[in-house]
Amino acid sequence: MEKVNNKKSWLVILSLLFVSALFWILFLKNSMDSLWSFHSVKVNPSYILTHDLKGIIIDSKKWIEDVDKYVQKDSVKALVIQINSPGGVVGPSQELYEFLKKVRDEYKKPVVAYSGGLMASGAYYTALGADKIVATPGAMIGSIGVIMEFLNLEGLYDWAKVKRFSITSGQFKDSGAEYRSMRDDEKALFQSLIDDVYIQFKNAIKESRNLSDQTLQSYADGRVFTGQQALDLGFIDEIGVASDAFELAADLANVSDFEIYKIPKEKPSLLDLLPLGGSEEDSEAHGLSKVAYQLLRADLVAQPLLILPGYWGLERSY
């Protein structure tokens, strides 16, 4: 019996040592990678920094922090944003737009936005903060407009024999609730929100693209353009591929010999590598609830969105 207990003790000790060693290996590797990447930008006198903006724009904080850490370095001469996004939430899209303007105007670093796939709605709003916008001729550009979706689950609640109600402090406090139909005065209220954000979007376009009110009136109606159509209408600056975007950024920065520096992806933490508890049934239930959540798009309901409908299932950006 004593031998069995000793054996278990040794197994526990060895397991703890293994976890501890794994932690320190990952910690030191991440530290060295970060240290190398942080200082490597200083090696060459001219770098073009690049970072991807992919998926639905939900939160801008981490993206901005990642770029801001590098773009202020003297060795970084310009920034190229590679976009493949249908847009997303209004606030983060506007924050990204303002940040690119800051890089351009305050840091005095040229910014080029490039897309070889999708640059729609909030993603296009973001790109307006750049000095130049480049896209492939077949890229999908535009979808200038605002959308706000709501859930109405009255029928589902009736089927489940569930009654929901609320007690509020004002007539609009539960506006948009999923358990009842929307009144006309509530629809008018939400329409006013949509209209205000739409005006903000169009003003950003006029400031960045110098387009006439007539052009915006004719084409800023939610439609999507090809890259070539967007160029012909004045919504982008050039047709090209990624290498053209980098060359343009170098020209704007007045550098001829440069290297491209891509912001490194974060390494997984120790917690990401360790298995978590829970039964197979729990995992299946979580998977089903996640699918239902995404089908209902519950995280994007009842808020103004700058997004191209039909792309809700894409990965979330940051």
What is the model's pTM? 0.77
Residues 6+ apart with CB under 8 A from 53: 63, 81, 82, 83, 84, 85, 96, 123, 126, 317
- pLDDT for position 284: 44
- pLDDT for position 15: 62
- pLDDT for position 88: 93
- pLDDT for position 141: 97
* Each residue's pLDDT expressed in tens, for the chain with a length of 318 residues: 555 455 556 565 666 665 565 555 555 555 444 444 444 444 457 899 999 999 999 999 999 999 999 999 999 999 999 999 999 999 999 999 999 999 999 999 999 999 999 999 999 999 999 999 999 999 999 999 999 888 888 888 889 888 888 888 989 888 888 888 889 999 999 899 999 999 999 999 999 998 988 999 999 999 999 999 999 999 999 999 999 999 999 999 999 999 999 998 776 554 444 444 444 444 444 444 444 444 445 556 667 788 887 665 455 555
Residues 6+ apart with CB under 8 A from 254: none
Radius of gyration of the chain (CA): 25
- Catalytic residue numbers, as ranges: 121, 173
